[in-house]
Amino acid sequence: MGEINVLSNDLINKIAAGEVIERPSSIVKELVENSIDAGATEITIEIENGGITYIKVSDNGKGIHEDDIEKAFMRHATSKIKNEQDLFKITSLGFRGEALASIAAISKVELTTKTKDVEYGVKVNIENGTIKNKSYSGATTGTSITVRDIFYNVPARLKFLKSPSREQSYITEIVENLALSNPQISFKYITNKKLVFVTKGDGNLKNVIYVIYGKNIYENLIEVNCSKETITLKGFIGNSKIEKNNRNYQSIFVNGRYIKNKTITAAIENAYKSMLSINKFPFFIINLFINPELIDVNVHPTKAEIKFSDEQKVFKEVYTCIKECIINKDYIPSFKLDNYQIIKNINDNEDTKKELSFEQFYYKSTTEENNSIFYENIDNNYNVAYFEENSLLNNLNRESEIEQTKIHLDDKNILKKQYVDQENTQKINYNDTYLLEETNVIPNNLPIMTIVGQIHFTYIITETSDGFYLIDQHAAHERILYEKYLNEFTNGKILKQILLTPIILEFSLSTKEKLFQHKELLYKLGFEFEDFGGNSISLRSVPNNYTYKNYKQLLEEILQNIENDLDIKSNSIDKLIYTMACKNAIKAGDKLNFKEIENLIKELDKCKNPYTCPHGRPTMIKFDYIDIEKKFKRIM
């Protein structure tokens, strides 16, 4: 006797519903997307007990015609598409005709709907996929669907749900993302009869971000509005002040559809590379608009993933858009004095007069260097972008001692000087040796600066017309070297310095084996070595002008980065270059003379990103003149 059974329609519907409706949040998503497709401008979502026992979604959309109600709950019945060609140019959120049928198969549903061309509403009750009764009543134009007792007839599925609070959190995430992707719609979200949030529906995405994420994120946003050949990118990204410990603060929408996509995520995170602290993630709310014919949204049961016809091109264009937004935005953190106390009761006598040490220098920016971008494919469909500078950075001379001019200023002169504006700055007499002609400067983003000096042999202080800056000399030099080494590595142009006398380095046998496993990569970084027998190697060359002499420690750290990162082509190469730049950079406590400070600022200004070190720490902090004036009560 045959063993193959033909399943009943009831069982087929329950099995199919399992693919579409995983939990209460799936129901909320499908119902709200139907409301959006119906042209609603106001949508209310109400849930109780994590949506397990009660979900209600109401809208002011166009409603469902009475003749279509029964068909709306039939599987594969939809108003969104008509033929096979429509699958390749989908613009609606729903299109399969499975959602209402799946919801009705595993819950108790009540639907009330009215179209604008009739004077009454239609109400139906559905259980186990079958309409039980139908009535007429007064109603406003739109649709209201109430779903009760999810999985009441599939108890095996019910036991896999989480606690009500956890299920509620899943629903909240869905509703938040639907609101973020549709700022033109007013959303009202109610849980257990308590209002959670309301959005205005005024089309302003930033207002929705304020409602959902609060004031701190709202005040640290960078707007994105960028068009390339294939895509248009709109939304907001965060600055370094709101870097996050995970990816929970990232939302991607493609043509208004909330999705998860590794290509877009990788492109955005690569654009932030070296601008955020290690193991931190950027905040972003991004809507990507693309020709529907260039994407396939029919690749996932819940439509949570899509495919692009040209993933690499999308990566490149998203990366470029985000990078341009970050670089064009002032990324220098400002130091606010509001939270700091004024030092009081300073003795006003000759002993407290300061012995100020500074030399001044006028530094002016002109035009930006042209840079090209080098893209490299990597194994897991991610791409990584490297910047290629057109000229090599000059090496800083770190051996000469600092030259200081000690000038005594009386109190009157200190109090009379408010700030040096651009016009007055140019009238100051400078030592001709230190004057940079405009033609010799390749500027980028830094403002016009007057060098004041170095404090604690760690920070450089410079003055501008609206305040002053503290520059971390180590972080700044680290950024300079990082971009230099990365450019040279990308182009295979890292210069080697042949050692007159090879250095014999001793390692453990396992470490030595790893060195030879990665010999080709280390050679590209400028390290050339040979086997010297036993546990030792003979180091014959190092990167040119590399002043860090503990080569054993450096090589061990580079190896550790390689071993910790299986994908050598992406993160580990950056980490290797981070390590080299960090080890060779000027350190805190190093004395710099005026010419060295001048060169440091000049080279920092050439950098593609002069505002952070490769690890994401700021290279400089701005002190606003107006805040200083307020603290000294010169202005109120």
Q: What is the pLDDT of residues 433-464, one digit of tens each?
A: 222 222 233 345 688 889 999 999 999 999 98
Question: Are residues 624 and 574 located together in one domain of the fold?
Answer: no
Q: Position of tokens 């010999």?
A: 519
- Examine residue 203 and state whether it is found in any structural domain, yes or no: no
Which tokens sit at 351?
């002993």
Question: Are residues 39 and 152 located together in one domain of the fold?
Answer: yes
Q: What pLDDT shows up at residue 19?
A: 54
Q: Position of tokens 């000294």?
A: 632
**85: pLDDT confidence band, cut at 50, 70 and 90?**
low
CATH number of the domain residue 270 falls in: 3.30.230.10
Rounded to whole angstroms, how far apart are CA atoms 40 and 145? Answer: 14
Q: Position of tokens 């397990």?
A: 52
Which of 79, 143, 73 is closest to 108 using CA atoms? Answer: 73
Overall number of domains in the chain: 4
- Examine residue 431 and state whether it is found in any structural domain, yes or no: yes
Which of 241, 283, 217 is closest to 612 using CA atoms? Answer: 241
Angle, vertex CA 217, rays to CA 215 and CA 220, nearest 5 = 110
Q: What percent of the chain has pLDDT over 70?
A: 71
Question: Are residues 188 and 240 located together in one domain of the fold?
Answer: no
**479: pLDDT confidence band, cut at 50, 70 and 90?**
very high
- Examine residue 341 and state whether it is found in any structural domain, yes or no: no
CA 310, 316, 319, 323: dihedral to nearest 10 degrees? -160
Question: Are residues 381 and 419 located together in one domain of the fold?
Answer: yes
- Examine residue 3 and state whether it is found in any structural domain, yes or no: no
Which of 351-355, 532-536, 594-598 comes out lowest in average pLDDT? 351-355
β-pairing verdict for 250-254 and 284-290: parallel
Is the pLDDT confidence value at 341 over 80?
Answer: no
Which of 561, 585, 557 is closest to 574 using CA atoms? Answer: 561
Backbone angles phi, psi at 22, to 5 degrees: -90, -35
Other CB atoms within 10 A of residue 366 CB:
10
Which of 484, 447, 444 is closest to 462 using CA atoms? Answer: 447
Average pLDDT value over all residues in the chain: 76
Taking residues 463-488, report their average pLDDT.
90
CATH number of the domain residue 111 falls in: 3.30.565.10
Question: Are residues 572 and 536 located together in one domain of the fold?
Answer: yes
Higher-pLDDT residue of 575, 168: 168
Q: pTM of the predicted model, to two decimals?
A: 0.60
Which tokens sit at 499?
């050692």
Q: Which one of 198, 232, 249 terminates a domain? A: 198
Q: Which one of 153, 169, 198 terminates a domain? A: 198
Rounded to whole angstroms, how far apart are CA atoms 257 and 427? Answer: 58
Question: Are residues 575 and 597 located together in one domain of the fold?
Answer: no
Which tokens sit at 548?
């860090």
Q: What pLDDT shows up at residue 546?
A: 67
Q: Which one of 329, 359, 377 terminates a domain? A: 329
For 139, the domain range is: 9-198
Per residue in 372-401, pLDDT tens? 333 333 333 333 333 333 332 333 433 333
Q: What pLDDT shows up at residue 9?
A: 66
- Examine residue 556 and state whether it is found in any structural domain, yes or no: yes
460-497 burial by CB neighbour count: b if 16+ within 10 A, else e? bbbbbbebbbbbbbbbbbbbbbbbbbbbbbbeeebebe
Q: Position of tokens 């390689």?
A: 562
CATH number of the domain residue 388 falls in: 3.30.1540.20
Q: What pLDDT shows up at residue 202?
A: 96
Per residue in 544-556, pLDDT tens? 766 667 888 878 8
Taking residues 198-208, report their average pLDDT.
96
Question: Are residues 578 and 623 located together in one domain of the fold?
Answer: no
Which of 174, 178, 227, 182 is closest to 201 using CA atoms? Answer: 182
Which tokens sit at 266?
């990788």
Rounded to whole angstroms, how far apart are CA atoms 590 and 98? Answer: 69
Question: Are residues 218 and 127 located together in one domain of the fold?
Answer: no
Q: Position of tokens 């709310």?
A: 285
- Examine residue 13 and state whether it is found in any structural domain, yes or no: yes
Looking at residue 427, its amino acid is K
Q: What pLDDT shows up at residue 317?
A: 95
Q: Largest alpha-carbon pair distance within the chain? A: 111
CA 33 → CA 30, 55, 219, 476, distances in Å? 5, 15, 30, 49
- Examine residue 182 and state whether it is found in any structural domain, yes or no: yes
Rounded to whole angstroms, how far apart are CA atoms 571 and 270? Answer: 10
Question: Are residues 236 and 267 located together in one domain of the fold?
Answer: yes
Question: Are residues 359 and 421 located together in one domain of the fold?
Answer: yes
Pair 233, 226: CB distance under 8 Å: yes
Backbone angles phi, psi at 541, to 5 degrees: -150, 155
Rounded to whole angstroms, how far apart are CA atoms 207 and 183? Answer: 8
- Examine residue 483 and state whether it is found in any structural domain, yes or no: no
Backbone angles phi, psi at 397, to 5 degrees: -80, 115
List alpha helices for 282-402, DSSP H.
Answer: 311-328
Per residue in 124-162, pLDDT tens? 999 887 888 999 988 999 999 999 999 988 887 888 899
Pair 12, 128: CB distance under 8 Å: no
Question: Are residues 304 and 275 located together in one domain of the fold?
Answer: yes
Q: What pLDDT shows up at residue 556?
A: 83
**480: pLDDT confidence band, cut at 50, 70 and 90?**
very high
Question: Are residues 532 and 625 located together in one domain of the fold?
Answer: no
Burial of 122 (0-12, 13-18, 19+ CB in 10 A): buried
Pair 51, 150: CB distance under 8 Å: yes
Instruction: Give the DSSP letter of residue 572.
Output: I
